[in-house]
Amino acid sequence: MKILITGANGMLAKAMKEELKGEELICTDVAELDITNAEQVNEFIKKVSPEYIINCAAYTAVDKAEENEELVYKINAIGPKNLAVAANDNNAILIHISTDYVFGGDKPIEQDYSEDDPKNPQAVYGTTKLAGERFIQENCSKYYIFRTAWLYGEGHNFVRTMLDLAKTRDEVKVVNDQHGSPTYAVDLASIIHQAMNKKIEFGVYNSTNLGYTTWYDFTKMIFEIENVKCKVTPVTSEEFKSPAKRPKNSQMSKDKLLKNGIIIPTYEEALRRYLSK
């Protein structure tokens, strides 16, 4: 299979390349293919004629996004639109990654979000990602949108940040009122690959590891596995001020993927696997 991977230096892209290493891969960074440039996108996809386009390019700095709305919209909304148009014109299947931040996050904690629940993004990142989803749905007939959350993997990520902080502090303060599913990029890449192999129905799929936790409990688990003696103190989102509002409830049901026979590891098992590498 000929597969184009955009944003090829990103965290998910690295896992995706490893997962698909048996395939004919064309991997582009922003210098080779800037997804915000419609003409370049069109010409490139016409020339390469991939069977699949996996869009791993995005603006992912959630707090910085608040001050850079125009640029973020270009990358997270116009970029996917350009890819959707080009995929449609060239009979390619577009695979795009979206986020739990498209939801309002105000559902009771006992409930999780299904794919079709009402959207209500609370900040620039989620708003632009939702616009990207909608452009894809309007402009492309063969697409998958995999909504993920709390991604970690190769490179800078929450797990490494906590372990690094613990080297110089005896206490870390971590929010205890945001609930979601930490997701190992390797497992998301596997979910995407399984969906491609099984040719599941086109559409939107919530795609995280199984199980729910808070950043506070997740941090305690990281330290426990690594035998790190650093105190973890719970704080509220209000105490831990950040420019972008985070959803309190980021829990997304994976029933739709599971019904399609996709195998998804739990976040606990995924974290142990990541830390044992």
Ligand X SMILES: NC(=O)c1ccc[n+]([C@@H]2O[C@H](COP(=O)([O-])OP(=O)(O)OC[C@H]3O[C@@H](n4cnc5c(N)ncnc54)[C@H](OP(=O)(O)O)[C@@H]3O)[C@@H](O)[C@H]2O)c1
By CB under 6 A, residue 84 contacts ligand X:
no
By CB under 6 A, residue 40 contacts ligand X:
no
Q: Which stretch binds ligand X (CB under 6 A): 2-10, 136-144, 193-201, 243-251?
A: 2-10
Which one is catalytic: 52, 125, 143, 267? 125
Candidates 3, 10, 73, 113: give the one binding ligand X (CB under 6 A).
10
Pairing of strands 24-28, 93-99: unpaired
Pairing of strands 203-206, 143-148: parallel
For 4, the token pair is 């184009």
By CB under 6 A, residue 97 contacts ligand X:
yes
CB 256 to ligand X: min, Å: 17
Residue 95's region, left for phi above 0, alpha for psi from -120 to 50, else beta, is beta
Task: Give Cα separations from 221 to 26, 163, 271, 277 (angstroms).
Answer: 38, 11, 9, 17
Residue number, nearest CB to ligand X: 10
Task: Give Cα separations from 210 to 51, 77, 138, 257, 270 (angstroms).
Answer: 30, 28, 30, 11, 9
By CB under 6 A, residue 83 contacts ligand X:
no
By CB under 6 A, residue 6 contacts ligand X:
yes
Is 52:25 a contact under the CB 8 Å cutoff? no
Is 270:183 a contact under the CB 8 Å cutoff? yes
Taking the C-alpha atoms of residue 179 and residue 112, their distance in angstroms, rounded to an integer, is 10
Q: Which is nearer to ligand X, 25 or 30 (CB)?
A: 30
CB 170 to ligand X: min, Å: 27
Q: Where are the alpha helices (DSSP H) in the chain?
A: 11-19, 38-48, 69-73, 79-89, 124-139, 158-168, 185-198, 215-226, 255-259, 267-275
For 224, the token pair is 């426990």
Q: Which is nearer to ligand X, 34 or 112 (CB)?
A: 34
Q: Check if 216 is active-site.
A: no
Taking the C-alpha atoms of residue 171 and residue 199, their distance in angstroms, rounded to an integer, is 47
Q: Which is nearer to ligand X, 40 or 260 (CB)?
A: 40
Q: Which is nearer to ligand X, 10 or 50 (CB)?
A: 10
Candidates 4, 83, 85, 99: give the one binding ligand X (CB under 6 A).
99
By CB under 6 A, residue 35 contacts ligand X:
yes
CB 184 to ligand X: min, Å: 11
Q: Which is nearer to ligand X, 53 or 57 (CB)?
A: 57
By CB under 6 A, residue 50 contacts ligand X:
no
By CB under 6 A, residue 148 contacts ligand X:
yes
By CB under 6 A, residue 58 contacts ligand X:
yes
By CB under 6 A, residue 189 contacts ligand X:
no
Residues catalogued as catalytic: 125
Binding site for ligand X (CB under 6 A): 6-7, 9-12, 30, 34-36, 56-58, 60, 75, 79, 97, 99, 129, 148-151
